[in-house]
Amino acid sequence: MGARSSHTVDPVVSRRYSSESESVLVVRRRPSMVNGGGFVVSNSKQQVLFRVDGCGVLGTKGKILLRNGDGDDLLLIRKMGGIVQALNMVHKKWEGFGYDKDGTERLVFTLKDPKDSCLVHNGSIIILVHGKPKIIPTNHNNYVEINGSFAERACNIMNSDGRPIAKVRRDKEMEEMVGDNNKDLYHVIVKPNVDQAFIIGLIAILDYIHGESTICC
pLDDT for 71-115, tens place per residue?
999 999 999 865 444 444 445 789 999 988 888 898 999 987 665
- Give the C-alpha separation, 115 to 125, whole Å: 10
Look at strands 185-190 and 23-29 and give their pairing. antiparallel
Specify the CATH number of the domain 22-209.
2.40.160.200
Pick the more confident residue, 122 or 153: 153
- Give the C-alpha separation, 43 to 183, whole Å: 18
Closest CA to 76 of 89, 61, 95: 95
* Amino acid identity, position 11: P
Q: Which residues contact 184 (CB under 8 A, 6 or more apart)?
A: 28, 29
Q: What is the DSSP string of 39-55?
A: EEEE-TT--EEEEEE-H
In whole angstroms, what separates CA 194 from the centre of its chain?
12
**Rounded (to 5) percent helix, strand, coil in the chain:** 15, 40, 45
- Answer whether residue 39 shows pLDDT above 60: yes
- Answer whether residue 54 shows pLDDT above 60: yes
* Amino acid identity, position 48: V
Q: How many CB atoms lie within 10 A of CB 208?
A: 24
Nearest 10 degrees: CA dihedral of 146, 150, 154, 156? 10
- Give the C-alpha separation, 186 to 28, whole Å: 7
Residue 205: predicted pLDDT: 93
Q: pLDDT per residue over 115-151, tens digit each?
A: 544 444 455 777 888 764 333 333 445 788 898 888 8
Residue 178 pLDDT class (50, 70, 90 cuts): low
In whole angstroms, what separates CA 66 from the centre of its chain?
9
Residue 161: predicted pLDDT: 85
Residue 200: predicted pLDDT: 97
